[in-house]
């Protein structure tokens, strides 16, 4: 990872500390009661191009990441790919532990294998928990050891409130993060791995003859949207981290605690729309 990447992400973290300390509710589109559970609500919009925080609400509050966890799982996998320690064609073994993971999954069986490339697609498109654990075990030897690597990377990034206990985001009371920390992680995925990040715009995949469409409904439906991850468990509500680029400006937005998937998506569209309008009104000098 380039030193410039660390500095730029650090600038986002510093800006968030100042912004969150004085954050106030925005008007109109950002009313949380319309879209989110107030006990789970959080929102954040970053101008990734300038490190400016455009909007934050409960951005430093502890929340459960759900499948947004898989953003870090894929970061570590992309890192191994760049280091040529693994290839997209590498066959990952599926253990009994990986095969028993609950939905969403690919219905993998113990003894199966899955290529790295297909595993990435399945994590991005349908948040496959069995494929995610296969990745974790292949890279870490065990999911437990892999989560130690996840936490080490989070600490390096300055994700000071994040604790990972599994690679999938499946329910675990101790697995917590913040919208602020997820914004930092999203920034690193986008700028540290621009080639591999293209996976996050995958709209559909075919697995064993079945067509599977992405859970991220902004892909193909919102101008400039090109990722990155959805998530849901009961204790988090419906979560979404999105990024979109227009006219040379890239925004990163985080929405947590959505009441439904549709309301979460509607709220995300509002966050991005207002973010782009703000940038247009106040161009960076």
Instruction: Say whether the peptide bond before residue 104 is cis (omega within 30 degrees of 0).
Output: yes
SS3 99: helix
pTM, full prediction:
0.91
Nearest to 224 by CA among 285, 255, 269, 185: 269
277 CB contacts (<8 Å, ≥6 apart)? Answer: none
Q: How many domains does the chain have?
A: 1
193 touches 78 (CB < 8 A): yes
Question: Is the pLDDT score of 26 beyond 60?
Answer: no
- The alpha carbon of residue 115 and the mean position of all alpha carbons in its chain are separated, in whole angstroms, by 22
Residue 172's domain comprises: 3-281
Nearest to 111 by CA among 91, 140, 139: 91
Encoded tokens for 183? 């914004």
| Average pLDDT over every residue of 231-242 | 98
63 CB contacts (<8 Å, ≥6 apart)? Answer: 40, 42, 176, 177, 178, 179, 236, 239, 256, 257
pLDDT digits (tens, 9 = 90+) for 125-151: 999 999 999 999 999 999 999 999 999
| Average pLDDT over every residue of 47-55 | 95
Encoded tokens for 244? 């979109």
CATH number of the CATH domain containing 47: 3.40.710.10
Q: Mean of the per-residue pLDDT values for the chain?
A: 91
pLDDT digits (tens, 9 = 90+) for 152-210: 999 999 999 999 999 999 999 999 999 999 999 999 999 999 999 999 999 999 999 99
pLDDT digits (tens, 9 = 90+) for 87-99: 999 999 999 999 9
Question: Is the pLDDT score of 19 beyond 70?
Answer: no
Question: Is the pLDDT score of 24 beyond 50?
Answer: no
Question: What integer pLDDT is reported at residue 110 of this predicted model?
Answer: 98
94 touches 88 (CB < 8 A): no
């Amino acid at each position: 990872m380039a030193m410039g990447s660390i500095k730029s992400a650090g600038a986002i973290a510093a800006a968030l500390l100042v912004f969150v300390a004085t954050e106030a509710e925005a008007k109109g589109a950002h009313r949380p009661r319309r879209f989110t559970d107030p006990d789970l609500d959080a929102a954040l919009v970053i101008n990734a191009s300038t490190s400016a925080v455009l909007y934050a609400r409960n951005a430093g509050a502890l929340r459960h990441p759900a499948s947004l966890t898989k953003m870090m799982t894929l970061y570590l996998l992309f890192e191994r790919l760049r280091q040529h320690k693994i290839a997209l064609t590498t066959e990952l073994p599926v253990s009994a532990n990986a095969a028993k993971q609950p939905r969403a999954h690919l219905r993998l069986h113990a003894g199966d294998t899955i290529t790295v490339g297909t595993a990435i697609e399945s994590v991005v498109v349908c948040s496959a928990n069995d494929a995610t654990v296969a990745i974790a075990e292949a890279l870490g030897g065990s999911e437990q050891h892999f989560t130690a690597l996840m936490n080490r990377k989070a600490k390096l990034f300055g994700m000071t409130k994040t604790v990972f206990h599994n690679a999938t985001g499946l329910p675990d009371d101790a697995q917590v993060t913040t919208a602020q920390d997820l914004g930092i992680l999203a920034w690193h995925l986008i700028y540290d791995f621009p080639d591999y990040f293209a996976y996050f715009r995958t709209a559909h995949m075919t697995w064993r003859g079945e067509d599977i469409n992405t859970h991220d409904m902004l892909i193909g439906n919102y101008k400039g949207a090109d990722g990155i991850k959805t998530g849901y468990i009961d204790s988090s509500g419906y979560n979404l981290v999105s990024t979109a680029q227009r006219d040379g400006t890239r925004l990163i937005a985080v929405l947590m605690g959505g009441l439904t998937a549709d309301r979460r998506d509607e709220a995300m569209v509002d966050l991005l729309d207002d973010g782009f309008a703000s940038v247009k009104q106040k161009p960076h000098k």
